[in-house]
Amino acid sequence: MRERKSWQVVSSTYAHSTFNPIRHIMENMTILPNPEKPMIALSIGDPTVFGNLKPAKEILQSAEDALHSGKYNGYGPSTGLECARAAVAKHWSVEGKAGTQTTGFPLYTTLAAGLHIDTKHYELKPESNWEVDLESLEAAIDDTTAAIVVNNPSNPCGSVYTKQHLERILDVASEK
């Protein structure tokens, strides 16, 4: 059996092109922590690992009360708890405006950027079961458009587009 003395693995162009700002800072730090000050580790995305994000006593008490009540010890409704939906709606509502949402996931944008691909977003219509805003979609398409991502069923909105709506999306794509 031949013994390998070293690995000769070349990283991909994609790996070289993907930029993670936090990892960049951490990998390029050449300072040593001050031994007289406690260090707060920020090198991973979970601040609880090192005890840096302790929940308030009120949060812990609320969680304990919810468990003891027996109301929340299993799966909730697939549409979410009404009180939670109302709280989110109240937080994100803008007076006088129905509000618009755009499509996609942050990971898509990160992966595309690593491949030097520009991304655009089209808006959704919350008042129409989160259908694609076809005017917004049409405005986002230009000569450089290579693909259109349509989330159906929609995540996280949960809507499922009708066959007619999907055909209208295809009509816009065909026209452009």
- What pTM did the predictor assign? 0.48
Query: Quick check: bond before 47 cis, omega within 30?
Result: no
Q: CA-to-CA distance for 104 and 120, rounded, in angstroms?
A: 9
pLDDT, tens digit only, all 176 positions of the chain: 667 677 777 888 887 777 777 777 777 877 777 788 877 666 666 767 767 678 899 999 999 999 999 988 888 888 888 988 899 888 877 665 544 666 667 778 888 888 889 999 898 888 898 899 999 999 999 999 999 999 888 766 778 999 999 999 999 999 99
Strands (E) located in 11-122: 101-102
**How many Å apart are CA 152 and CA 160, to the nearest integer?**
6
- C-beta separation of 149 from 175 below 8 A: no
* Nearest-angstrom CA–CA distance, 95 and 33: 48
